Structure 1
Amino acid sequence: MSLPPSSARVVIIGGGVIGCSVAYHLTKLGWKDVVLLERKQLTSGTTWHAAGLIAQLRATQNMTRLAKYSQELYGGLEDETGVATGFKRVGSITVALTEARKEEILRQASMARAFGVEVEAISPTEVLEKYPHLNIGDVTQGVYLPLDGQGDPANIALALAKGARQRGAQVLERTKATGVVRDGRRITGVHWQQGDETGTINCEHVVNCGGMWGHEVGAMLGTNVPLHACEHFYIVTEAIAGLTQLPVLRVPDECAYYKEDAGKILLGAFEPNAKPWAANGIPADFEFDQLPEDFDHFEPILADACERMPMLAEAGIHTFFNGPESFTPDDAYHLGLCPEMDNVWVAAGFNSIGIQSAGGAGMALSQWMDAGEKPFDLGDVDISRMQPFQGNKTYLFERSKETLGLLYADHYPYLQKRTARGVRRTPFHQHLLDRGAVMGELAGWERANWFARGSQEAEYRYSWTRQNFFENVRAEHTAVREGVGMYDMSSFGKIRVEGPDAEAFLNYVAGGNYSVPVGKIVYTQFLNDRAGIEADVTITRLSPDAYLVVTPAATRLADQTWLMRHKGAYRVTITDMTAAEGVLAIMGPQARDLLQKVSPNDFSNAANPFGTAQEIEIGMGLARAHRVTYVGELGWEIYVSTDMAGHVFETLMDAGAEMGLTLCGMHMMDTCRIEKGFRHFGHDITSEDHVMEAGLGFAVKKDKPAYIGRDAVLRKQDEGLAMRMVQFKLTDPEPLLYHAEPILRNGEVVGFLTSGAYGHTLGGAMGLGYVPCKGESVQEVLASSYEIEVAGTRVAATASLKPMYDPKSERVKV
């Protein structure tokens, strides 16, 4: 067995399918001195016992792109390496047993068409034709993807490892990474042990592909990688006479999947209440190990399966298997450059979809490492979405009980996690609960999404049609449009940038102009070199040397990391101030009247025009009033230190009682912002959406000296737009839009909605989405006829490039 070298360009820790994929793809890009360290034997953690289902369709376009790439890669690996991957396109069927699941899978089929995945909605009878052993008595709908496949997980990993070796990578088994040499925000060396031998590899990069050890390896590397192992169960039958090749079958309403292989049936489960494993650490000698059987836990799944496929009741069980797999807090895997370090990368936590994800994830990470920037938007899986507290072991243990089962749960709109809740609370949390708030969770923050009224239960009742809060949100929406509403924005990120170079630094790192008077608020974006949008923020000048950057709650860490990584020699200090201040948004035509009742300060246009902030007295306390809006109405965001937050809340509620002040939630904010055409970061605007094609060219300065993305802005200005962000409203007021519904232009699918919500003032469901327009005028784009496909049905839509609600923003500036 060869020993590791003394130096390498990159050290990859972990020899499962993803570690092998990263090594394969880096060498394919020409990287030399690639070293992979595997503590035991390749595939010996989770990969060896994976089911090997290889589906194409994921929840977003780019995740689907990566899954499709995996299929294409595995199809050609055998010819390249001589290792049989067992990959074959057998197709897959998902069946629904309820009307709610029928709606879900039909919406998924529409999404598949938008993403370019071949898909067919099939009737229960057609399901039986393709899967003749099934009891279809209660099947309501099926969806068939003919190009889905299955493969041999271990051999796929070994083929990737061989491909990497053929291009010069060293893949070393029985070699454990035991520690690191750290220099500030970089790892400069990895210590290793192989038998009695030890040593250190000096390196430029480290990649954590540790699988269920990823959390532990992450800690060794000085990074937070939240994941937890859970027990995962399946059985394999004895050979069944006459059984021929079948599609992969998923019956999510029974938490089950079926795979035919070599005349046997593998039946697997994603049960609603999972069993976390190894909370106190994975045994040091774990290698190709199985966990103890728990037939009582699996028995309800098997009982349903025997009803669904009666021949299972006659078949003997050859194998009852229980093996561990890792799950993340949000059921999305971890990929990318870790926020805490500048040369530590991660690809781990694949939530039982590691085989179908590994090819694409390895390709994307390798391109990111090679180019120094993401090849396309990877926000769904970017490790920087994880908050520091999510590495807490108690939190991970509690959340993992739920996340495994969520893979097959009904994916209702607005579905909230049940476990590991209540970690982060705003200063107004109890005040809101006492008044009927129904909380949702984002990045650990408990946020009021809507308010129950009277005797109504303060909890969600999920469905795909109008949910139990629909009329509540309409009332909140109407209050903001016609009177005055108040909602809690404390969870939004607040990053203080301070120092003698603060103005120059922000003028370099962001697209707006920050050479402005104290009190000025600038809406703008952080851009990458392609003028893609890395962050969507407001920046307020607090003093000559200090600014406040306000970001979405979910991206505070990512946005602060972006600032840190571009700080260079600028003399600035960057500090997270999110928890220091509570924020109450006071919005609506009567907002000025309410504030004037509780404060002696002047809120007139002359004293406090739109886009400015002022220090104010409020009640007996002090605050800062920012005149901005995300709902398209006259309004202010009131920033108050957390010690005075309760007092300010009570003062506003008391003063607003006679005015009909209405408490509102995040759902209202979404319905109002979509009427106004305001973009939502992570959905409507991402790192691969050009700021000008997103319709945000006004927020970046074309004539400002050098800033990140400026050249790409000017190029786009010269060459013209290839895409335009368009706002849509359905002409039928009944259907609902959420996201990813196909956009049809003159009968052809040209894109999909990046976000959707109901426009209560305008009287219909609304969405935003990009439409190709290369060489076309605005008039040509709008002259077309548009439809949106909702669960397989085309619905006519009106289109606009200007906001359909208050296009000139006259209501905002009164």
Structure 2
Amino acid sequence: MSRGSNLPAEADTVIVGAGIVGCNVAYQLTELGRDDVVVVDQGPMPTTGGSSTHAPGIMFQTDEPKILTKFAQYSRKLYSDLEGQDGEQAYNEVGGIEVARTDERMEYLQRRVEWAKSWDLPDPQLLSPEEVEEKLPLVDSNRIKGGYYSPTDGQVSGVVACDALAREAMNNGATFVPHTRTEDVKVENDAVREVVTENGVIECDEVVIATNIWTRQLGEKLDVHLPVAPVEHQYTITESLDELSDATADITDHPLFENYRNVSGEKAKRLLSGPDRPILRDQDNALYFRTHGDAYGIGSYNHEPIVPDPQELGGNDSGGEQASVHEFTEYHMDNATHPDRPDKAPRQASDELLPATDGAELEYKYNGMFAESPNGLPIMGPVQQYDGLWTAAGIWVTHAGGAGKALAEWMENGVPQLDGERIDLAHANVNRFDDHEGSWDFARDIGGEQYRIVYSIVHPKWIWTDKQRDIRRTPMYHSHKELDAELWAEAGWEEPQWFESNADLVAEYSDDIPDRDGWEGKYWSPIEGAETLNVRNNVGLHDMTSFNKIEVVGSDAGEFLQYLCTNDMELDVGDVRYTLMCNEGGGVRADFTVTRTDAERYLILTTGREVGNNHVAWIRDQAPEDVTVNDITSSLAAMVCTGPNARKVLSKVTDVDLSDDAFPFFTSKQFFVKNVPVTALRVSFAGELGWEFYTPSEYGERLWEHIMEAGEEYDIRPYGNGALDALRIEKGFRLWGQDLHTEHNPYEAGLGWAVDLETDFIGKEAVAAAANGDNIEHEIACLTLNDETATVLSHRPVLDGDETIGYLHSAEYGYTVGACVAYTYLPPEYAEPGTEVEVLYEGERYTATVREEPLV
């Protein structure tokens, strides 16, 4: 490979970083036909000295987030097709086993099986302790309860894969430039113009930041505050073990050995040696293992978080230890320092599970770094501040192949795809973050917390409890505290999940609130059910300030919204319309209501919760220069008063006629609630008679008090997000990011009524094809469990016999219908009302029936 002095003067696309992510993106872009791609890296190639160089390359594919499993699946297939310079396949498909030392972990491994079935991983299995020992003879089966086995898991050398990908990319026309540190990215008129390196400037139209632990450094130069935190974990390799003597291999004649040794030293002869038996995880002790010839590699996350300052990270080049490796901290291996595992040191736990390592010298040992994000998912996509600026960070070797493919499709064709199918990346989108997440205080603390829980049993409703809380307060925060709200963090907002002050309602509605004793009962209160039934039967008030609120202003705002939205957007002032927003592939990019508040002013209201900022970024990106798009989420307090008695309550605080004739459904008015100015919409995500109110934030608390005081006569109660989820799901309202996202087109989602094909909008061609019945492989289906006392959670497989036909996108108990309600997407022949299917949940099969919607 050429040295940095041969830097091209210009390119269409520059990728900064030639680790496993950068090489994957380069390979995929050139496979899609691009031939003017330049990849620059500060270190030598292919052993750049980043995480790809020191990573042991183990690939456990199964995870609860669908995108991680799908990325890993694609990576496995891709790496299996790659050939290293030694003529061998780059991927070692030896299988992977996770063991359980506790009953709680064994239950978790059952969830692994169910996620694997949901995401179409082949042949996931639970093993007895004896079956684990059969596949891994050095494991002491007396120490474990059993294991989870995924036969297609394995290992890939980051260096071998990088080399193979780079060679293929260069054959397709790409240029790789090592020993060239990127110092800056220059922009002009909010668009990328050039990359400044230590060896010269490259003029370009696009830049992909694929620098992993260095991502934050480069972003800061552009005032793009990316919450990427480098974290350290320990990796050690034992001396030769007699028990592995039959696996001795000399790899010093490998074509990449000398290159590898120049960067990593003598441990290269171990790191280049692939495993000959299943890789292993002991998550109860935050440990993982793989063989290196006749030695065992031991990786440990079982220590307190160590989060270096990214501004203090050095660079990589030959002739010294790579900057992604820090000195081994012996203390963290020999002492129990992990805050959740205080009783056993990592070395002790390792020697218990693998007695052959007991007393063995750790021949090689170091603290290696990787990058964490606030939700543990990649940070990728187009950065909204600058045209042509893309990121691909926080991505492991396991997921890099799939992430690289999805990003390349996104860059080239406008829609992320894997194997020809859309994949939704909302929770990995670089634009999902709120302003506070860009602070180093936040990124450091939450990066450390993500490290802490990486091998923990984490409930899907779990929230941070003591780090980076109480950041964003709605105007009603103090009112919520007075009513003993159970506050959960949502995009930094402190939001009520339920109110302890409503505990007295539980006795009133107890016959309609089944107990939850298992996994589904964690982070749940029967008060959620009581609040739900109170709204259905009486009246409630909900704080919805955190919903995304977007203002679109300009003489061409109406024309722009028509191009943005699938529905007919010919609105009079005061009209409210539900519509969808699709991407170029016809996937639903968001659903929202649009209110025309003035001749040239519109209000968009939507909920994306943790990913709602993606909507804002997309709308801004599509808007013409003469249309202004403002995120006014924080400017307006918002609440909804809903339930059969809502009109009676509100009539006490306003003189406005609230009758159906004077104030019909899907209209809005501006008036006063006592002395507070409001924009009121006759809509309700709860599916009952109700009005949403929007007012400048400084009025929010007083508006809340006015409505609560007016409702005392009717025993009005506040209600939290738990009740809202139950209310909306039994009404059939979709929640974007769960049962609605870009993998679905409007007709698959049952929302064809929100599409007007007489108008032109983004993605129309693909949507029109779906309207004709093309590309409809799955349709939304509303299920209720036949066991009226049972509740299940999402992401579990829907079965016909032993065949997986779908998975649960969302699920919640429907207190009004008296059954758990779930939404899934099934092949059309299964989506017919009356069809019976089964849901696999916590190892049990539950019969469920497809129902006509809405249920309420």
What is the TM-score normalised by the length of structure 2?
A: 0.88
The answer for the alignment partner of 1:114 in structure 2 is 118
Counterpart CA distance in 2 for 1:530 and 1:246 is 42
Deviations 1:273-307 (A, max 9, x none): 41111254313568514323322223322222222
User: Which amino acid in structure 2 is aligned with residue 69 of structure 1?
Assistant: Y
Counterpart CA distance in 2 for 1:285 and 1:702 is 55
Structure 1 residues 661 and 103: CA distance shift in structure 2, 3 A: farther
Residue 253 of structure 1: SS of its match in structure 2? helix
Deviations 1:678-714 (A, max 9, x none): 11111211112111110011112233x3222333333
Q: Spell out the pairing of 1:223-372 with structure 2 (5 A cutoff).
A: 223-243=224-244, 245-271=276-302, 273-278=304-309, 280-284=311-315, 288-289=322-323, 290-299=325-334, 300-350=345-395, 354-372=396-414
Q: Spell out the pairing of 1:130-529 with structure 2 (5 A cutoff).
A: 130-137=135-142, 139-194=144-199, 199-243=200-244, 245-271=276-302, 273-278=304-309, 280-284=311-315, 288-289=322-323, 290-299=325-334, 300-350=345-395, 354-375=396-417, 376=422, 377-418=424-465, 419-453=467-501, 464-467=519-522, 469-529=524-584
Counterpart CA distance in 1 for 2:664 and 2:217 is 52
Q: CA deviation at 1:531?
A: 2.2
Counterpart CA distance in 2 for 1:23 and 1:373 is 17
Residue 362 of structure 1: SS of its match in structure 2? helix
Q: Spell out the pairing of 1:71-82 with structure 2 (5 A cutoff).
A: 71-78=76-83
The answer for the alignment partner of 1:644 in structure 2 is 699
Structure 1 residues 413 and 179: CA distance shift in structure 2, 3 A: closer
Of 306-315 and 479-488, more deviation after overlay is shown by 306-315
The answer for the alignment partner of 1:589 in structure 2 is 644
Q: CA deviation at 1:785?
A: 2.4
Residue 165 of structure 1: SS of its match in structure 2? helix
Q: CA deviation at 1:124?
A: 2.9
Of 556-565 and 623-632, more deviation after overlay is shown by 556-565
User: Which amino acid in structure 2 is aligned with residue 123 of structure 1?
Assistant: S
Does structure 1 conserve the Cα–Cα contact (< 8 Å) formed by 2:623 and 2:629? no
Structure 1 residues 140 and 104: CA distance shift in structure 2, 3 A: same
Q: CA deviation at 1:628?
A: 1.0
Deviations 1:614-656 (A, max 9, x none): 1232233222221111122111112121111111122222232
Structure 1 residues 337 and 98: CA distance shift in structure 2, 3 A: same
Residue 243 of structure 2: SS of its match in structure 1? coil
Residue 611 of structure 1: SS of its match in structure 2? coil
The answer for the alignment partner of 1:545 in structure 2 is 600
Q: Does 1:674 align with 2:729?
A: yes
Q: CA deviation at 1:9?
A: 1.1
Structure 1 residues 166 and 285: CA distance shift in structure 2, 3 A: closer
User: Which amino acid in structure 2 is aligned with residue 291 of structure 1?
Assistant: H
Does structure 1 conserve the Cα–Cα contact (< 8 Å) formed by 2:287 and 2:300? yes
User: Which amino acid in structure 2 is aligned with residue 328 of structure 1?
Assistant: S
User: Which amino acid in structure 1 is aligned with residue 428 of structure 2?
Assistant: V
User: Which amino acid in structure 2 is aligned with residue 567 of structure 1?
Assistant: A
Q: CA deviation at 1:94?
A: 1.5
Deviations 1:7-30 (A, max 9, x none): 111111112111111112212222
Structure 1 residues 658 and 731: CA distance shift in structure 2, 3 A: same
Counterpart CA distance in 2 for 1:578 and 1:557 is 10
Structure 1 residues 620 and 724: CA distance shift in structure 2, 3 A: same
Residue 219 of structure 2: SS of its match in structure 1? helix
Counterpart CA distance in 1 for 2:727 and 2:223 is 42
Counterpart CA distance in 2 for 1:712 and 1:256 is 46
Of 200-209 and 311-320, more deviation after overlay is shown by 311-320
User: Which amino acid in structure 2 is aligned with residue 35 of structure 1?
Assistant: V
**Residue 40 of structure 2, aligned match among 21, 37, 41:** 37
Of 534-543 and 19-28, more deviation after overlay is shown by 19-28
Residue 558 of structure 1: SS of its match in structure 2? helix
Structure 1 residues 619 and 251: CA distance shift in structure 2, 3 A: farther
Deviations 1:467-489 (A, max 9, x none): 36331111111111111122211
Counterpart CA distance in 2 for 1:140 and 1:434 is 46
Does structure 1 conserve the Cα–Cα contact (< 8 Å) formed by 2:839 and 2:846? yes
User: Which amino acid in structure 2 is aligned with residue 792 of structure 1?
Assistant: G
The answer for the alignment partner of 1:47 in structure 2 is 52
Residue 421 of structure 1: SS of its match in structure 2? coil
The answer for the alignment partner of 1:800 in structure 2 is 851
**Residue 96 of structure 1, aligned match among 84, 100, 104:** 100
Does structure 2 conserve the Cα–Cα contact (< 8 Å) formed by 1:85 and 1:151? no
Counterpart CA distance in 2 for 1:554 and 1:60 is 15
State, as a whole percentage, how many aligned pairs show the same letter. Answer: 31
The answer for the alignment partner of 1:787 in structure 2 is 838
Structure 1 residues 137 and 618: CA distance shift in structure 2, 3 A: farther
Q: Could you list the structure 1 runs, at least 4 aligned residues long, displaced by more than 4 angstroms after superposition.
A: 81-86, 284-287, 453-456
Of 367-376 and 30-39, more deviation after overlay is shown by 367-376
Structure 1 residues 734 and 132: CA distance shift in structure 2, 3 A: farther
Counterpart CA distance in 2 for 1:102 and 1:155 is 35
Q: CA deviation at 1:519?
A: 1.5
Deviations 1:145-179 (A, max 9, x none): 01100122222222222222222221111112222
How many residue pairs align between the two structures?
Answer: 787
User: Which amino acid in structure 2 is aligned with residue 233 of structure 1?
Assistant: Q
Structure 1 residues 331 and 701: CA distance shift in structure 2, 3 A: same
Does structure 2 conserve the Cα–Cα contact (< 8 Å) formed by 1:153 and 1:355? yes
Counterpart CA distance in 1 for 2:203 and 2:238 is 49
Does structure 2 conserve the Cα–Cα contact (< 8 Å) formed by 1:36 and 1:171? yes
Counterpart CA distance in 2 for 1:107 and 1:678 is 27
Counterpart CA distance in 2 for 1:170 and 1:179 is 20
Counterpart CA distance in 2 for 1:96 and 1:619 is 61
Of 446-455 and 675-684, more deviation after overlay is shown by 446-455
The answer for the alignment partner of 1:810 in structure 2 is none
User: Which amino acid in structure 2 is aligned with residue 212 of structure 1?
Assistant: I
**Residue 706 of structure 1, aligned match among 732, 745, 760:** 760
Deviations 1:229-270 (A, max 9, x none): 111112221121123643112122211112222122222222
User: Which amino acid in structure 2 is aligned with residue 452 of structure 1?
Assistant: E
Counterpart CA distance in 1 for 2:710 and 2:657 is 17
Counterpart CA distance in 2 for 1:318 and 1:332 is 33
Residue 12 of structure 2: SS of its match in structure 1? strand
> Structure 1 regions of 5+ residues with no counterpart?
807-814
Residue 101 of structure 1: SS of its match in structure 2? helix
Deviations 1:657-692 (A, max 9, x none): 332222211111111211112111112111121111
Residue 719 of structure 1: SS of its match in structure 2? coil
Structure 1 residues 218 and 349: CA distance shift in structure 2, 3 A: same
Of 631-640 and 61-70, more deviation after overlay is shown by 61-70
The answer for the alignment partner of 2:253 in structure 1 is none
Does structure 1 conserve the Cα–Cα contact (< 8 Å) formed by 2:535 and 2:642? yes
Does structure 2 conserve the Cα–Cα contact (< 8 Å) formed by 1:66 and 1:359? yes
Q: Does 1:3 align with 2:14?
A: no
Q: CA deviation at 1:133?
A: 2.9
Q: CA deviation at 1:222?
A: 4.9
Does structure 2 conserve the Cα–Cα contact (< 8 Å) formed by 1:100 and 1:463? no
Counterpart CA distance in 1 for 2:240 and 2:554 is 72
Does structure 2 conserve the Cα–Cα contact (< 8 Å) formed by 1:750 and 1:771? yes
Structure 1 residues 454 and 597: CA distance shift in structure 2, 3 A: closer
Of 281-290 and 550-559, more deviation after overlay is shown by 281-290
Residue 574 of structure 2: SS of its match in structure 1? coil
